[in-house]
Each structure stands twice: as C-alpha cells, then as structure tokens.
Amino acid sequence: MNTPASLIINDTQLNDAFSQIKEASRFDPAPSLALRRQRLDALEALLRENSPAICAAISADFGHRSTHETQLLEIFPSLEGIRHVRNHLKSWMKPQRRSVSLWFQPGRAEIRPQPLGCIGIVTPWNYPLYLAIGPLTAAFAAGNRALIKMSEFTPSTATLFAELAARYFKADELAVVGGDHELAQAFTRLPFDHLLFTGSTAVGRQVMKAAAENLTPVTLELGGKSPAIIAPGYPIAKAAARIMAGKCLNAGQTCIAPDYVLLPAGEEENFIAAARAVVASSYPDLERNADYSAVVNLRHANRLRDYLDDASENGARIVPVGDAAPYEGGPLRLAPTLVLNTNAQMRIMQEEIFGPLLPILSYTHIDEALAYVNAHDRPLALYLFDHDKARIDLVLDQTIAGGVTINDTILHIAQDELPFGGVGPSGMGHYHGREGFLTFSKQKPVFYQSRINGIGLFNPPYGKLFERLIKVLLR
C-alpha cells in the first residue's frame, strides 16, 4: 500500500491521477477473481477499522450528524453491499452460454463480462460515504479502477477518505478528488470508460453534456419529488409513523425521502396529530437531540426557509411538528414541518425539497392521486400505504417511478438484490448488486465457429445451390 497522500485539489493532480489509473487499467484489463476479492476485502477493512473517524468527519461537515444515523444509513448498507457482491462475484464473472440458431450449429455462443477500465464516480454531500462506497463496490467487483469526486460541502469527509484510500489501495487503483465545482466540471470532462453521477437533475444535465464530448456512458442518479400515497382505509397513524421516519432521517436530506403526501380528504388533522406524536417520541428536545441531524449548511437552511416563506405568503398553512429552530452558534436544525393548502405555483411544490418539510395534499378518489403523480416528472421513489392487493397492483401498473416501497419508506434502496436507479428526470441506469456489476462491465458477445460447418455454402460465386438455400432461409 502506498503512503497517505493529500486529497486531489487541482487540475494537474487530477490529470496525473487519471492518467495513472487509465494506464493501469489498460495494462491489466482482466483482473482475477482473487484480486477483485482482495480489493473488496480492503474496502470492507477500511470501513470497519475507521468507522468512528468516518462518523466524526461526516458530523463535522454537517455541523451535527447523528453517529447512529451514519452507522445505520451509510456504514451498514455499505458493508452489506460489499458482502453481497463478494458472495456472488464468482458466478457473475462466469461466461454465460447463449443459444445458437439451427443454421449456425454446431457453433456455440456466450456472453463474457469484461471490465470497462477507468470509472468516474461523482458523490453528493448528503450521504458522502454510502454514495461513494456503493458504486465503488460495483466498480471493483467488475474489475475496474476508479476516481471519486467528493462534494465540496463535505471537506472533512473528503480529506479523511483520501487518506484512507491511500492507506488501503494503490494509487493506480483508487484516487479521491476534492475541490470546488470547477474541478468537478473538469472531472466530468475526462474520458472515463463510465461515469456515475449522483446529484440534482439540473447538474445531471450538465454532467451528461460534458460526458457526451467523449462519448462516455453515464449513469445518473438524480432526484425529484417522491410521493407517499395513503390509500383509503389504511390506518393514518401507522402511515404517518413510517412517512415521518423516512422524512426525518438525515433531516430529510435524502434523495428518496418522501417529498409530499397524498391522503384521503378529511384525514389531514389525523395525520398532523400522528406526525406530532412520532416526532415527540423519536426526537424529544429536538433542538438539542443528538439523533436529529442538522441541515448541512446555511445556504441550504436559507433555501428551506424561503420555501416556507413563499408558501405562507401564497396561502399555505404551515404546521411545525417539532420544536427545533436554528440557534446562533449551534447546528442548523430545522423542525419537521407540514405544509397544507398548497398550490402548483409554490416553490415547495415545484422543486425537490431535500429537507424536513412535507406538503400534505388531499384527494377524494385514488384515481385523483394517480393522476397527480402522473402529471408530473417521474419520481425517483414512490411509497404506497395500502393492504388491498388489487389497488396495489393498480398503482404499480399505472405509475412509473425509479423504485417503490409498499407500506414503508426508503427500504427498497437497502435491498441488494434490487437495482437502484431513476427514470426520466430522476435518472438513468442502475446499480447495486448484480445490476451494478453489469453497469460497470462490457457484456462481450463471443461466437465460436465449429471445425465442421457449412458456412462455405454461402460464399460467392452465388449459384443455384445458394438460391435454393436462401429460399429456405427466407421462408
């Protein structure tokens, strides 16, 4: 292992690191199963041996981030993902036999997975570890090397991760990049063999344009407004408990957090009461509660306040369901807040919230809820609370979303056998588990011609025998 190196912070360092990793991937285009497992083992050791330092760094970047949340939401799923991939990697790497048409027998065909080479990963600030480790796990499993661009909003995490990467990996296996948005732009313009970006839809468009200059394939994990639909007859208190749990994790700074709720008309006050009870039970003394995370910085806190001000000025009812408020010199904690009587012109209904604010919309018939969801961009996630199988199937059939959890929130992302990815403005492509392995592999088709074959019958000069044969082929 090489000695600890500084975080990459300028163009020269970036280009040097890219060239080193690119060259190494070309020199070793087919890493063995043993080497891939070795890299996965090193990644697991990095997490296990440095968990306290990682939690501390993330908390420092947020002003306060619950250690327990970081363990649950970042370290645990990262370790689970590594274990899942390692357990299945041998079978994934095997060539897959494919059938051959009668006319080409006794030849045979197969699909042979092959590493792409040098992978670029752009990581957001909200889950700076998990959203780096997840795609990196898939990239290593597929036999690749990688560069990771960390967010400028999480400098402590970026610095620590760079130091750890240098301790556990060779410089030509993994490099970690810091810097601001200008270095991020330079990063996305590099000719990677694949580029995965996690972030906002607006920035995703820019990333895709930059990658297109090199015809670099991209996986875009974006965002959007993820609805939670409570079906008629479903217990409101039970739904509210799971919705608020998903909304309050990381203070709502989660790409698949419930963004708004659609519930039967007349149940609004019941939902408010249930939400208050959940927050009071889970986060007593919210302002100083160690389990409730802060908003990452003042810019984002002000953005969320602006949403509330705009909604209030345009007739919305603002209902805090906790007692937190930002205080000078302390973490930027914002209380979970419900927003009722919204309209389409409000910013909170137009933009991804990414914070502990939750609009509540009512409907009189489930078809109205589905029509509302389908009238807007396809969400990254959809949550349905219902026990009626026919209606569940109806909602699943009639809506399109990146992923779905029934009778809970968030949990589909933690299933390693399920792909994770958006659709339309919420993203393109998938990773996690086998889908991640496939994303970062070239599925190379191979045909083996048999020693004894009749292909010569189809060579020119074309004569009567050929004409008889082609008539059979074109029948």
pLDDT in tens, 33-71: 999 999 999 999 999 999 999 999 999 999 999 999 999
Predicted confidence band of residue 2 (pLDDT cuts 50, 70, 90): very low
Q: pLDDT confidence of 330, banded at 50, 70, 90?
A: confident
CA dihedral 256, 68, 154, 202 (to 10 degrees): 0
Express each pLDDT in 135-171 by its tens digit: 999 999 999 999 999 999 999 999 999 999 999 999 9
d(CA 119, CA 197): 11
Fold agreement (11-222+425-444, 227-420): no
Helix, strand, coil shares of the chain, percent, nearest 5, are: 45, 15, 35
Q: Name 323's Cβ contacts closer than 8 Å, sequence gap at least 6.
A: 285, 286, 287, 335
What is the Cα gyration radius of the chain?
Answer: 26
pLDDT(403) > 90: yes
pLDDT tens per residue, range 124-144 = 999 999 999 999 999 999 999
* Confidence tier at 329 by pLDDT (50, 70, 90): low
Sequence spans of domains, the chain? 11-222+425-444, 227-420
Residues designated catalytic? 221, 255
- CATH class of the 11-222+425-444 domain in this structure: alpha beta
Write out pLDDT tens, residues 196-220: 999 999 999 999 999 999 999 999 9
Give the CATH number of domain 227-420; options: 3.40.309.10, 2.160.10.10, 3.50.30.60, 3.40.630.30.
Answer: 3.40.309.10
* Whole-prediction pTM: 0.94
Which of left, alpha, beta for 303 (phi over 0: left; psi -120 to 50: alpha)?
alpha
The pLDDT tens digits of the residues spanning 209-248 come to 999 999 999 999 998 899 999 999 999 999 999 999 999 9
